[in-house]
Amino acid sequence: MFKRQQDVANPGDDIVIELDGKTVTVPAAVSVAAALLYLDAVPTRNTLVSGAPRAPFCMMGVCFECLIEVDGVSDQRACQVQVQPGMRLRRQLSAQDGDIT
């Protein structure tokens, strides 16, 4: 879905993080939301009431559609947090997807 621009990408700058218990490699110095889109890891959460899938939308901290658990702290705006080596991310998916937040 989303690809890195070749003139910006520097393979040596990749870092390793954990997403839903799996080790993944993402570009360094990007937001968690950008990393999730890069990994095509959408939806990033489901709404509590209807279970509707959600994913980063505004990428500037306004819409709150990108909420995710970061290092054990839930409801963090993924677009406002930069990826760090070893960071543990967990998508806040509903029971309909087999995972309860």
Residues in touch with ligand FES (CB under 6 A): 33, 56-59, 61-66, 77-79
Smallest gap from Cβ 11 to ligand FES, in A, equals 26
25 or 64: whose CB is closer to ligand FES?
64
Q: Which is nearer to ligand FES, 8 or 58 (CB)?
A: 58
Find, among 26, 22, 91, the residue nearest to 56 by Cα: 91
Helix, strand, or coil (residue 94): coil
For residue 61, the minimal CB distance to ligand FES (Å) is: 5
d(CA 10, CA 61): 26
